[in-house]
Amino acid sequence: MSTSSVHAWLRRAMAVVAAASLAGCDALPTLWPAKDGYPYTTTDPISDFGLLSQHIYVTITVVVCVVFVLVSILLAVTLIKFADRGTPGNPEQVHGNITMEIGWTIAPIGIVLFLIVPTIRTIFLQQDAAPIGAKDENGQVLMGEDGKPLRPAVEIKVIGRRWWWQFEYVNEGIATSNQFAIPDDRPVSLFLTSDTVIHSFWAPRIGGKRDAIPGRVNRIWFNLTKDIAQGQPDHIRGECAEYCGEAHSLMRFEILGLDGADFDKWVSEYKVAPTFADASIKQKGEEAFSAAGCTGCHAISGFAGAKGTQGPNLTFLGDRRFLAAGIKDMYPNGRADQATARAVLTQWITDPNSIKPGTTKSANASRALDGMNIPADANGDGILQPEELAPEKVDAIVSYLLSQTSSFPLQ
Amino acid sequence: MSTAATHVATHAHVEHEEETGLWSWITTVDHKRIGKLYLISSLLFFALGGLEALMIRMQLFRPENNFISAQFYNEMFTMHATTMVFLAIMPMSAAFFNFLIPLQIGARDVAFPRMNALSFWLFLFGGLFINASFLFHAAPDGGWFGYANLTGSKYSPGHSIDFWMLGLAILGNSSMMAGFNFITTILNLRAPGMTLFRMPIFTWMSFVVQFLVVMSFPMITVGLILLIFDRNYGTNFYFPPNGGDPLLWQHLFWLFGHPEVYILILPAMGIVSEVLPVFARKPLFGAPFVIFSGIMIGFVGFGVWSHHMFTVGLGPVADSAFSTTTMLIAVPTAVKIFNWIFTMWGGKISFKTPNLFAITFVFLFTIGGLSGVMHASPPIDLQQQDSYFIVAHFHYVLVGGALMGLFSGIYFYWPKMFGRMLNERLGQISWALFFIGINVTFFPMHFLGAMGMIRRSWQYPAGAGLDMYNQMATVGSLFIFFAVLVSFINFARGLMGHGELAGDDPWDAATLEWSIPSPPPHYNFAKLPTVHSDRPFWDEKHEGGPAVSQAKIAGPGPHHVAMPPSSYWPILVAVFQGLVFVAFMPGSGSGAFNYDAFLKQVMIQGPVALAMLFCILAWVREDDTPR
């Protein structure tokens, strides 16, 4: 075979691989498109971080599928062609063939080289230094007249707890739990850590996971590539991917993907305390909240007595759609159905283990968490009986928490 | 004990039948009996691990299911993995190491017969000890990988992690001892003329595995000792607030854990390399390449451990390096696959049960290997790590690969072990159920992973599109259940004496173990054969080569062969050595050095250690000259 015909064959082969990759590119995301029914798809990312993974995901998927088909055909042909049909005598005793051995040693080395180069490139791109702000088309950070980035990166400290998430906006001074918002017009930079055991932060639609490890800080950053319309927030779900104990599978979180302007508004609302149409709700709620000992662990902005950091920050709880770290949908029938939300929150307060096992210190001491219990739970059974916390007190707390809404409740 | 001479005189006609009865099995040092003990006990543990898997699948049949509690679910997946890895696949491989290696190299026993018995008893006690946790409502719940600092006393008070960590330490002891034993056996006890490259491939792969065992188990032993210190005496190796680092455990664990994967798969590869040529009636294609690729897998296997840790943030340089080494594993693996296929190419393939399982190994292992190439790439791994995609991948490798290889080995070597054929029809039914079950169970898990379903999840959300594939997987697991059931019925029938007599060489095979009676006499070879090729028995039968079969070179019995006497010291040492570990229990889980608990520990440990020492001294002084 002449050199030019080898080249021609190579070109043709490359064209086939490229076409297959492109076909794969189109086909793969549509297998499990992100929609309400498939909230966790890994094949339809909406961030540059996720798309970097996606490109190589598609390439390698195509390559391994092609290899699999070829090997399977070879195996099938062998089994059919050389099945024993009762002919006498032994087959020719072939011991091997050096050329073939060299061939099938070099072929996989070639494939590995073909895959490892883009892999390493992507590794370095994904773990590059985080940008300090939004960039223009040429990749230059947009600078304002004051010499600072026009739209600086949003930096969020993510802390894994057992079994919920704390999110702290480094520059904005906002803290929230289990649900947080990100803008679509500037980079988002996450600092992942834990003060309990190892967790792993994974929002599959945004991209790959990173572990939140006690004593260490890991970082991922990304830009949303999806253009989110004003007033139409995107709902991105995530979960803890590293086994972290009894309720590991019930440790999820919600991300509110917001248009840039909406995000600024969200920040400005979250920076100040929630307002109440009816001051008595706040007053009664704070009283009950305080009396039941909730303030020891929970913080609520605008309630001077509630500064605890052991439990989730409950400010703007009315914005959240899910309770117990993304587990229990409070509004399965939409926001209009407040009764269901009240019932769910009441159940969560009075009998949390029924929604999420292991939430409170159980009767079995060996399963106890680090000092977590309900102060008002006098008999220590993990359930707040009416005599331990009066139903009207629970009602006051429920009203108080659910009334705290901003302009961006999760639909 | 009677001398060999009187033994022969009184039992001349059934000369190869040794003593029978429970006591003879407890005190046996015969590698074939120990191999059978390993086989039966590993099959029982395998059944237990399978039931645990069924519990998992039942729970996941529906979204937000409450069939079992979260706590029990976590215990189930922890014990399923621990059981399958340490108590089923490894000892099932050990059954073949024990039974086959001396037969394949033309030896009368392993190098250290009593130590071999000690390995088995330690394994059995270790396995029983871990499972005894169920009796105390303290089943391990930290995952088979036992990530620190979740396993520390703060987050795992009580004794559940103690059962796991001390049991694993006992099992590691057993494996390391067996490793040294087999290395010595293979290096020193080969028959005349059996050069290294005339050794059967199974022995070769086992040889590689023993090196992996003796080099990787010390890592986890160190990790476990640090954990024992953390849990018992308040040290802080893994406890971050006081300066420890949980990643230390991950490195130590995976430095062991990844070679462990090859410890699980290489013996099966060895078995398949024996079975495919016999049923294709050809020699293994490119045998030296199969051997060297096995060695290569062993070597590179020590340089890939951090691919289990791509998500922990080791930095781009480490990620790139480990990604490259991991992908390179695909090269020797591909070499093996092609050599197996071309072993069959041009042959006369008969589809007997052992071969069905062996061919299935080649096919399913290819799938598992290729999906492994995918998450060798860290950008993809970030999306697949800890998702069901990984579960799909390693079950294709370990069930489709290792287990199919081992079942192939059971069906292939059963006639040699027990002298009777297994039922071919039942074997084929079991194989078909396995083939359907494995694919229906584990293939949909790729999709679940791609949809973002996390591993170790007690519940998955309703309305997330995960229901159908989970239901498929559960249905598939029932097929596997029945596959195992049919095979177990087959084995039970075999043990009860059903099945036709096998004769010395039922498959017309090529290697030494088929040149002696089935089951072999306790001395294996009345006269050690002289080996002239890598297929000595085939050459004798088909190529006019020099005789190696006992019928020709030793003639009919009785033969006076002196063998090492049985001994009860191994089981006693095993009991006391196990108890030395168990004695760490009282003070464990307190999280700080506790003088009373320490005193309690020493009060138990001291006498037990002394008793062990006494048994070891008695062992040393015991007269074990062959007689």
Q: Which residues of A166-178 are buried (b: 16+ CB within 10 A; e: fewer)?
A: bbbbeeeebbbbb
- Among A82-91, B34-43, B101-110, name the one with the lowest average pLDDT: A82-91
Nearest to A212 by CA among A197, A200, A195: A200
Q: How far apart are CA B445 and CA B462, in angstroms?
A: 17
Nearest to A223 by CA among A128, A116, A123: A128
- With 50 as the cut, is the pLDDT of residue B16 above it? no
- With 90 as the cut, is the pLDDT of residue B289 above it? yes
Identify whether the C-beta of residue A311 lies closer than 8 Å to the C-beta of residue A400. no
Identify whether the C-beta of residue A134 lies closer than 8 Å to the C-beta of residue A150. yes
Q: How far apart are CA B404 and CA B452, in angstroms?
A: 29
State how far the alpha carbon of B474 is from the alpha carbons of A235, B68, B471, in Å.
31, 15, 5
Minimal C-alpha gap between A396 and chain B (Å):
30
Interface test with A, best of B382, B385, B391 (most A CBs within 10 A): B382
CA gyration radius, chain A: 28
Q: Name residues 437-476 of chain B within 8 A of A (Cβ).
A: 447, 449-461, 463-465
Give the residue ranges of DSSP H helices in B133-245: 160-188, 201-233
Nearest CB neighbour to B377, from listed A60, A87, A200: A60
pLDDT recorded at residue B533:
92
Identify whether the C-beta of residue A344 lies closer than 8 Å to the C-beta of residue A356. no
Is B153 annotated as catalytic?
no
Query: For the domain bounded by A154-271, which CATH number is listed?
Result: 2.60.40.420
**What is the average per-residue pLDDT within B367-392?**
94
Residue in chain A closest to B454 (alpha carbons) equals A241
Coil, strand or helix at B277: helix
Nearest to A223 by CA among A193, A196, A252, A189: A189
Residue A304, Cβ neighbours under 10 Å: how many? 10
* ∠ Cα A328 A333 A336 (to 5°): 110
Coil, strand or helix at A169: strand
Identify whether the C-beta of residue B126 lies closer than 8 Å to the C-beta of residue B539. no
Q: Which residues of B497-509 are buried (b: 16+ CB within 10 A; e: fewer)?
A: eebeebebbbbeb
- State in Å, rounded, how far the first CA of chain A is from the last one: 65
Residue appearing with tokens 């906002």: A174
pLDDT recorded at residue B391:
96
pLDDT tens per residue, range B133-190:
999 999 999 999 999 989 988 888 889 999 999 999 999 999 999 999 999 999 999 9
DSSP states of B430-494 as a string?
HHHHHHHHHHHHHHHHHHHHHTTPBSS-S---TTSS-HHHHHHHHHHHHHHHHHHHHHHHHHHHH
Is B80 annotated as catalytic?
yes
**What is the average per-residue pLDDT within B339-352?**
95
Query: For the domain bounded by A279-402, which CATH number is listed?
Result: 1.10.760
Nearest to B444 by CA among B479, B468, B465: B468
Q: Which amino acid, B405?
A: G
Helix (H) or strand (E) holding A177: strand A174-177
As averages over each run of 10 residues, the pLDDT of chain A (411 residues) reads 59 60 52 62 88 90 93 96 90 93 94 93 91 86 87 94 92 93 94 93 93 94 92 91 92 93 94 89 91 88 86 91 90 90 93 86 43 71 83 92 91 81
Interface test with A, best of B65, B311, B541, B588 (most A CBs within 10 A): B311
Identify whether the C-beta of residue A271 lies closer than 8 Å to the C-beta of residue A286. no
Q: Do B150 and A245 touch (CB under 8 A)?
A: yes
Give the residue ranges of DSSP H helices in A319-382: 338-350, 352-355
Nearest to A396 by CA among A323, A331, A346: A346
pLDDT recorded at residue B306:
94
Helix (H) or strand (E) holding A181: strand A179-183
Number of DSSP helices (H) and strands (E) in chain B, helices first: 22, 0
Q: How would you classify the pairing of strands A252-258 and A179-183?
A: parallel
- With 80 as the cut, is the pLDDT of residue B7 above it? no
- Which DSSP symbol is given to B228? H
All structural domains of chain B with their residue ranges = 351-496
Q: How many CA atoms lie within 13 A of A274 on its CB side?
A: 27
pLDDT recorded at residue A375:
76
Q: How would you classify the pairing of strands A188-194 and A154-160?
A: parallel
Torsion of CA B101, B107, B108, B110, to 10 degrees: -50
Report chain B residues whose CB lies below 8 A from the CB of A197.
Answer: 147, 149-150, 155, 246
Identify whether the C-beta of residue B496 lies closer than 8 Å to the C-beta of residue B481. no
Residue B238, Cβ neighbours under 10 Å: how many? 26
Would you place residue B5 in the very low, low, confident or very high pLDDT band (cuts 50, 70, 90)? very low
Identify whether the C-beta of residue B186 lies closer than 8 Å to the C-beta of residue B203. yes
Q: How would you classify the pairing of strands A328-329 and A322-323?
A: antiparallel
State how far the alpha carbon of A43 is from the alpha carbons of A38, A55, A209, in Å.
11, 10, 14
- The encoded tokens of residue B264 equal 């699980």
Interface test with B, best of A49, A65, A87, A120 (most B CBs within 10 A): A120
Coil, strand or helix at A235: strand
pLDDT tens per residue, range B237-274:
998 888 899 999 999 999 999 999 999 999 999 999 99
By the CB < 8 Å criterion, does B69 face chain A?
Answer: yes
Coil, strand or helix at B19: coil
- With 90 as the cut, is the pLDDT of residue B69 above it? yes
Q: Name residues 87-126 of chain B within 8 A of A (Cβ).
A: none
Residue A248, Cβ neighbours under 10 Å: how many? 27
Report chain A residues whose CB lies below 8 A from the CB of B458.
Answer: 248-250
pLDDT recorded at residue B208:
97
Is B144 annotated as catalytic?
yes
Q: What are phi and psi of A343, to 5 degrees?
A: -65, -40
CA gyration radius, chain B: 25
Peptide bond into B458 cis (omega under 30): no
By the CB < 8 Å criterion, does A243 face chain B?
Answer: yes
Q: Which amino acid, B3?
A: T
Q: Do B313 and A218 touch (CB under 8 A)?
A: yes
Q: How far apart are CA A407 and CA A263, in angstroms?
A: 11
Identify whether the C-beta of residue A71 lies closer than 8 Å to the C-beta of residue B337. yes
Residue A40, classified by CB atoms within 10 Å of its CB into exposed (0-12), middle (13-18) or buried (19+), is buried
pLDDT recorded at residue B11:
39
All structural domains of chain A with their residue ranges = 9-78+104-126, 154-271, 279-402
Q: Which amino acid, B160?
A: S
Residue partners of B135: CB distance under 8 A and separation at least 6: none
- The encoded tokens of residue B451 equal 């949809």
Angle between helices B113-132 and B70-82 in degrees, nearest 10? 170
Instruction: Give the per-residue SS3 of B337-400.
Output: HHHHHHHHCCCCECCCHHHHHHHHHHHHHHHHHHHHHHHCCHHHHHHHCCEHHHHHHHHHHHHH
Report chain B residues whose CB lies below 8 A from the CB of A74.
Answer: 341
Catalytic residue among B18, B30, B75, B260: B260
